[in-house]
Amino acid sequence: MTALPQFKSKTVPVIVITDVAQAIPMAHALLAGGIDVMEITLRHPAGLPAIAAVAKAVPEMCVGAGTVTTLDDVARVVDAGATFALSPGMTDSLIAAVQKANLPFVPGVMTPGEVMRARDHGYGLVKLFPATQAGGLGMLKAMGGPLPDMRFCPTGGVSLANMNEFLALPNVAMVGGSWLTPVNIVEAAAASGDWSAITALAQEATDQASK
């Protein structure tokens, strides 16, 4: 298993990019706000070329590929230059593919059994998704007892208002969320060329995580 690349941010923006032209200015805006990691999902056809654009033009940004669910996805995100991948779930074939590709990976889990399977495959960090529906803070606290060696990145239902409740838990390494790059603000920034609103959201999350 290949280790995750190092990044400082405790908040991982989960991003659906609909226009490749958004990718590079968004990466710079997030960096200006103290966030040095971004999860660009494959939920839109622009996602893959966006990953490639950031990987090539913004090397100081740790760009990960999200919504990686198939063997083909693994090959495509590796070719695009993603430094790691995340998935909403986990299958044996997907695990085998990312390990064969030496691609750092954060598998998705919802249950203690899935956490144990991920651990058996060598993963110490997993993505609790969807976090709220999976039990949120209560589930994470409950799993901390029998599985104290595992760390989580809860995603789904995490926001600026509750992120510190998650980060306060000893088994939470980071949180993921889409509130940092809301579609309306991204579209307005792309239209005007002024990405300061995204930087402000990133800085707000960075400041909140440091409290």
| Catalytic residue of the set 8, 127, 204, 211 | 127
- Whether residue 39 lies in the annotated active site: yes
Sorted by sequence, the CB contacts under 8 Å of residue 153 that are 6+ apart come out as 12, 86, 106, 125, 126, 127, 128, 172, 173, 174, 175, 176
Catalytic residue among 39, 60, 187, 204: 39
CB count, 10 Å around CB of 106? 30
Block residue for tokens 């990691």 = 37
Q: Which residue has the tokens 């600026």?
A: 160
Spell out a b/e string for 112-147, using b for 16 or more CB atoms within 10 Å of the CB, else e. eebbebbeebebebbbbbbbbebbbbebbeebeeeb
Q: Is 100 a catalytic residue?
A: no
Annotate 125-149 with DSSP letters as a single string: EEEETTTTTTTHHHHHHHHHTT-TT
Q: Which residues are catalytic?
A: 39, 127
